Amino acid sequence: MIAKLISFLFIILLSTSSIQATSPQSDYEYQLTQYRKHNTEFKVLKEDNQKNPTLDNQQKALQAAKQTIISRDTTKIVYIEVILSSIRSQNPTQGYILQTESELISAQEFYKNQIILAKNIVNVEDLTKFTKEYLATQPPYQTEIIKSLATNKLAILIRLQTDIKNAYDDLLPKISDKTLTPVSAGLDKITQLADNINNKILSSINIIKSSEVTTSSKSSFYSKQTENLSQIKTLQVELVNILVDLEKNYVN
């Protein structure tokens, strides 16, 4: 149990991203490549139309813009699925994380609807109207995506904390003499660390929930969350090390 826990913790500490390679991840990488291709084509055709504003060039640029919008929002839908897949793999039960799942599904529905609307663009006026409404209505959904990345990493640490608790419950009856000073000190330290970790997890949840994060402020948001989550991981490493020591030296 503890060996498995160490392996999981090791993977988390080495990973630069908390989202593992999955089928949705592969789909996202493909869609992102498609979006970049369409966006590059649009920029070329837009420039051609600006230099030589003929009706033909305008239509080519318009169709390219339409395809870029569709590709962009398709990419967002698949990216959300990547995050959802990672969160769901942690088997969350916490209300906030379940709420995040629900909000991400709502975001997917929003972008699916935008694709439907984009397919109905037939002229420049339609494109202008679509863009204005998109810019006005899209930000809250983008905010949810940004915040959900931090929530996903937190969900992984919560799952690890649950695994640590299960390992502790499995180990405790196997320690024959809990009155030994190193044992009692270790058990007391485990309790202190567990309380500290749980408090930091709750604090992180509250910070994520209350953060007024936007695309322009996401870097500072991620920086702050990375600091908070790193502190939790450090405490979890310390806790697991104590469990390892107890199992190695005080289990008959």
Phi and psi for 218 in degrees, rounded to 5?
Answer: -65, -30
pLDDT digits (tens, 9 = 90+) for 212-236: 888 888 888 888 888 899 999 999 9
Q: Give the pLDDT of residue 217.
A: 86
- Provide DSSP, 94-161: -HHHHHHHHHHHHHHHHHHHHHHHHHT--SHHHHHHHHHHHHHHSHHHHHHHHHHHHHHHHHHHHHHH
Q: What is the CA radius of gyration of the chain?
A: 24
Burial of 220 from C-beta contacts in 10 A (0-12 / 13-18 / 19+): exposed
pLDDT exceeds cutoff 60 at 151: yes
Dihedral, CA of residue 53, residue 55, residue 61 and residue 66, to nearest 10: 150
pLDDT digits (tens, 9 = 90+) for 193-217: 999 999 999 999 999 989 888 888 8
Biggest CA pair distance of the chain: 88
Q: How far is CA 137 from CA 11, 53, 58, 74, 134, in A?
A: 38, 31, 27, 17, 5
pLDDT band at 14 (very low <50, low <70, confident <90, very high): very low
| Percent of the chain at pLDDT exceeding 90 | 78
Q: Give the pLDDT of residue 123.
A: 96
pLDDT band at 5 (very low <50, low <70, confident <90, very high): low
User: What mean pLDDT, rounded, does the chain reach?
Assistant: 91
Domain range annotation of the chain: 24-137, 147-250
Phi and psi for 251 in degrees, rounded to 5?
Answer: -105, 125
Answer whether 78's CB lies under 8 Å from 104's CB. Answer: no
Answer whether 187's CB lies under 8 Å from 178's CB. Answer: yes
Q: Give the pLDDT of residue 2.
A: 63
Averaged pLDDT for residues 70-89 = 96
Show the tokens assigned to 121: 């663009």
